[in-house]
């Protein structure tokens, strides 16, 4: 929220909006002939939404100076990180490497166009093979990482290199972190600390009042499981909210008939429609506020 910090320049509701908003700010900066940096931070979960890739695709096309920090705390994207990875990240983000790369690119442009393009692709793929960032390079981003986000000695030099770089174009810094790092209860049960109330600091136990009455979520889950036992065409779909919707309980009983599509509500609804055309009976469990994103798909 912008009211919480002077460094929060945009108020977000749904996830996956940061790159789009930051790109708009970067475009405005360039129209105003200013030279400050614009930084967007996005999590690996939020990167599963199509909007993030729409923004990255547009950023690569526009070529505005933009820094995106990918906070990857699920280890779903990153290869192992360590000293060698940190060294490579410092190297490819350094001024000397980027200057050498610029000179090499200028030289390559003296050759016939097919050769120049081949050189560019070879350099990008070689760097991508080392760092794992080929996907982002294809979208037009200069990829740096992965970096251990908990090792400040590794992280700060990379951030400074990217901050001070004079070359244009979008840059993505891939930072690997651990949910709840340094606090054992949160490390062991990261999903329980996504949103918390009062809790015991020593044990991590949350002081929540439990009702004797069953929740709507548990009733829904049990009813869906019961129906699925009688009808093998019933499937369940969630958009990155399995525990909040009760679909996780369905997944225990019928893992092959349960689909978590990530933060992709539009896809979830149309994916369900595709299943329905083939005779299946999909149940799409999405919070009402998130379902707003899929309204057009529901109408269609």
Active-site amino acid positions: 179, 265, 293
The count of residues in the chain is: 300
Find, among 129, 150, 142, 128, the residue nearest to 173 by Cα.
142
33, 251 Cβ separation under 8 angstroms: no
Tell me the β-bridge partners of 281.
234
- Report the alpha-carbon angle 265-282-260, nearest 5: 45
Beta-strand pair 234-238/66-72: unpaired
Q: Which long-range contacts (CB under 8 A, 24 or more apart) does 35-41 make?
A: 37/65, 37/67, 37/163, 38/65, 38/66, 38/67, 39/67, 39/68, 39/69, 40/66, 40/67, 40/68, 40/69, 41/68, 41/69, 41/71
294, 265 Cβ separation under 8 angstroms: yes
142, 172 Cβ separation under 8 angstroms: yes
Determine the 3-state secondary structure of 76 from DSSP. coil
């Amino acid at each position: 929220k912008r009211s919480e910090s002077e460094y929060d320049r945009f108020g977000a509701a749904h996830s996956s909006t940061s790159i789009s908003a930051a790109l708009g700010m970067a475009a405005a900066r360039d129209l105003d002939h200013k030279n400050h940096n614009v930084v967007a931070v996005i999590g690996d979960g939020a990167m599963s939404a199509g909007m993030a890739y729409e923004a990255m695709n547009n950023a690569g096309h526009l070529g505005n100076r933009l820094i995106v920090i990918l906070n990857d705390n699920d280890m779903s994207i990153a290869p192992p990180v360590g000293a060698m990875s940190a060294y490579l990240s410092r190297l490819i983000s350094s001024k000397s490497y980027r200057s050498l790369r610029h000179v090499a690119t200028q030289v390559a442009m003296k050759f016939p166009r097919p050769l120049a393009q081949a050189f560019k692709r070879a350099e990008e793929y070689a760097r991508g093979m080392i760092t794992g960032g080929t996907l982002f390079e294809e979208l037009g981003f200069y990829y740096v990482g992965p970096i251990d986000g908990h090792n400040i000695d590794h992280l700060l030099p990379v951030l400074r290199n990217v901050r001070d770089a004079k070359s244009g174009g979008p840059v993505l810094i891939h930072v690997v972190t651990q949910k709840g790092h340094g606090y054992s209860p949160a490390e062991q049960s990261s999903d329980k600390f996504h949103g918390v109330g009062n809790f015991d600091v020593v044990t991590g136990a949350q002081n929540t009042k439990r009702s004797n009455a069953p929740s709507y979520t548990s009733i829904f889950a049990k009813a869906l499981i019961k129906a699925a036992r009688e009808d093998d065409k019933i499937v369940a779909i969630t958009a990155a909210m399995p525990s909040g919707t009760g679909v996780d309980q369905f997944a225990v009983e019928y893992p092959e008939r349960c689909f978590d599509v990530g933060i992709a509500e539009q896809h979830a609804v149309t994916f369900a429609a595709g299943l329905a055309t083939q005779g299946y009976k999909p149940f799409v469990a999405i919070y009402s506020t998130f379902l707003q994103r899929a309204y057009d798909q529901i109408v269609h």
